[in-house]
Amino acid sequence: MKFAHISDIHFDSPFVNLSDEDGLGEIRRLEQRKALKKSIEYVKENNIKYLFISGDLYEQKYIKKSTIEFINNLFKEIPNTKIFITPGNHDPFIKNSYYNTFNWNENVKIFNSKIERVECEDCNIYGYGFNDFTCKDSKIQDLEIDEKNKINILVIHGTLDGSATDGNNYNPISSKILEEKGFDYVALGHIHKSNFDKNNQKIVYPGSLVSLGFDELGEHGMIVGDIEKDKLNLEFIKIDETEFVLKEIDITEINSEEELIEKLNECEIKENNLAEIILVGRRNFEINKYEILKLIKNNKIIKIKNNTKINYDLNDLANDNTLKGLFAKKMLEKLNNKETTEEKRKIIEDAIEIGLDAF
């Protein structure tokens, strides 16, 4: 039995933190459409019988009806594929959600907050969906598989083995409990980094179909599986053609904005990659990252982060008979105090940076 598993597309996301440049958000929204279309074409060409979408298909706050119509029209292109959707924390099954109000194609099944089993010819599909923007407990621990001789699959959105601080609001799930239940495959959503492992792993996050930014590095796509009872073969299929990368540049030996711009223009960045440049080291000039982005010709660079520090000699500054010198002298005394811990030293160094910037 063949299936495809995707998650966390976040259709109509505003991409507000993606770039320091204007317009890229609209480009990525178009690429979201392209990615789903590419996924559906793969399903069609390979005669895949089941498609699992494990939550956060769209952004409830921003989603447009035209986008929902686009998604549903793609679903119509694979009428012989059964599509199972479980709402997540960004697209919960609430009163005014399109899951509740839109007339979806007949091959689409949308789960809600009551755990449900759908009997299919060659498997049973269980699912649970968020009915709010948070979920403390899906009661998955109370579920019992009825027909253990069949292939049993769970489609769910949640935090697998998360800590108390980051997982309690988004359906905390224990991998141990899932293993004890005896599912042949668990199609997870919520975590944007894939945990896919070819070593017969049954509990899988495919990761976000399309990267939402520089905190989601690496390849993005979908999981394709071929499953029999007690036999599972999985494959990762790259879908997102764009890959986000980080490049670090030490500017200690660069003495002007012009030199920095030349350095950035010479950066080698692969085709279909978009880069965030992280500037480090000691700076010898003031840096305005927005102005620099306007001036560079390397259109692969879309974001700059300035992690540099002022290039200063505190001992030399402390000898100046000025307010700046007095500040440097006092801060130097704090740094040289034997009782200053490493933690306090870091705070003092940050204070020196802010203070010298102010001068």
Query: What is the chain's mean pLDDT, rounded?
Result: 92
Q: What pLDDT shows up at residue 117?
A: 96
Q: What pLDDT shows up at residue 198?
A: 63
Distance, in Å, from the CA atom of 318 to the CA atom of 330, rounded to the nearest integer, reads 8
Q: What residue segments make up the domains of the chain, in order of their start?
A: 2-238, 243-310, 314-358
Q: What pLDDT shows up at residue 19?
A: 80
pLDDT at position 359 over 80: no
User: For the structural domain made of 2-238, what CATH number should be given?
Assistant: 3.60.21.10
Q: What pLDDT shows up at residue 28?
A: 94
Q: What pLDDT shows up at residue 166?
A: 60
Question: Out of 13-17, 160-164, 199-203, 339-343, which region has the weakest mean confidence (pLDDT)?
Answer: 160-164
| Tokens at 139, concatenated | 């009661």
CA-closest candidate to residue 223, choices 37, 39, 38: 39
Distances in whole angstroms, Cα of residue 114 to Cα of each of 86, 94, 131, 174, 276: 11, 13, 9, 19, 43
Q: What pLDDT shows up at residue 3?
A: 98
Amino acid occupying residue 79? P
To the question of pTM greater than 0.75 for the whole model, the response is yes
Question: Out of 26-40, 182-196, 311-325, which region has the weakest mean confidence (pLDDT)?
Answer: 311-325
